[in-house]
Amino acid sequence: MYKRQKNINLLKSVVVAACFIVYPLSFTQEEIGVAAAVNTKTIDLVAFPGGNIESHNIDPGYKIISNRTIQTNTSGKAQMLLVDGTAFTIGPNSSVTLDKFIYDPTTASGSLEVSAKGLIRLVGGKVTKKRPAIIKTSTATVGIRGGIAIVEANPEETTASFIYGVEMEVAPIKNPDNNLIITQVGMKVEVEADADEVEDPEIITSEELDSYSDDFEGSEEPEEDSSESENDSEETSENEESEDSESDESEETESEEEDTENEDEESESEEEESESEEEESESEEAENDEEESESEEESESEETENEEETESEEETESEEDTEETETEDTEETETEETEETETEETEETEEISN
């Protein structure tokens, strides 16, 4: 039992030692070219087992390794020169992954396959004389043999322009058998996402060529050192934190001001309501005063009318009394006159009788 365990431990030791020996050999990669020219920041993305990825800054003379991804920033440009003479020019905000490169100097034969995003120009070397170089994008596969091609790729479509050479072959990713071969230089084709065929060729305009030329020139901004870049990054981070703090303080101040304004508005609203209530109360008092005044005036008017009626009745009674008195006086006068007349007649009669 002890001997068996000892053998197992020995076997484990051998396996571990073999791993340390084989590991670096298995990931030893051949240099296939150099960076001929670099404008602004261009990086080489290096993948390690376990999914770790490191980025290395590329300067002129940087060694190009197969299965690496070369990537530019938004204003960058890079030119890669492979050992067979094939040249790649990578435009701004673009990337090229060197998937496969085989070259035999004795026979000047081999193969080249890359994956591209953004803007790329390929000038074929010795490998492309016998076999087309393959450029794969998200929507199409472009093959260029013995010539020059410009490929612009984004997730929506791929545009392939045949500038010079023997032929250019384009096929959709969705339907590789439905390919289109172009032999007339100065033509371009497009392949849209999810399309199963290549659109009809069109002539490349001078404006399009000028635009490509400007894009490949890139920005002339000097490349910053990594230390300066880190300092700038730290300063930017500090500035962002300061701006965030100021923004938070500003938001708090604005919130307090809004609360104060809301309180002022509520106070003003309460004052307006109080004033409105006072005005309503005064209006009601005024209405009550007017009603009382009107009532008093009506009462006085009624009293005046009653007095006038009383006076009128008294005058009427006085006139009636006067008339009665006059009538009585007249009757008494008439009676006296009658009596006098009768007396006179009697006396005359007596005189006549005598």
The per-residue pLDDT of the chain, averaged, comes to 75
Query: What is the band of 27 on the pLDDT scale with cuts at 50, 70, 90?
Result: very low
Sequence ranges of the domains in the chain:
30-223
Helices (H), the chain: 2-26, 127-130, 206-217, 226-353
Structure confidence at residue 290 (pLDDT): 72
Give the DSSP letter string of 77-91: EEEEEETTS-EEEE-
Q: What is the pLDDT of residue 226?
A: 44
Of all residues in the chain, the percent with pLDDT exceeding 90 is 29
**Would you say residue 15 has pLDDT above 50?**
no
295-315 burial, b for 16+ CB within 10 Å, e for fewer?
eeeeeeeeeeeeeeeeeeeee
Give the count of beta carbons closer than 10 Å to the beta carbon of residue 114: 22
243-256 residue pLDDT tens = 555 556 656 666 66
Say what the pLDDT of residue 1 is.
Answer: 47
Q: Which residue has the higher pLDDT, 13 or 301?
A: 301
Q: What is the mean pLDDT of residues 95-119?
A: 90
* For residue 233, pLDDT beyond 60: no
pLDDT band per the 50, 70, 90 thresholds, residue 312: low
Task: Judge: domain 30-223, CATH 2.60.120.1440.
Answer: yes
pLDDT at 282: 72
SS3 at position 110:
strand
Q: Are 118 and 93 in contact (CB under 8 A)?
A: yes
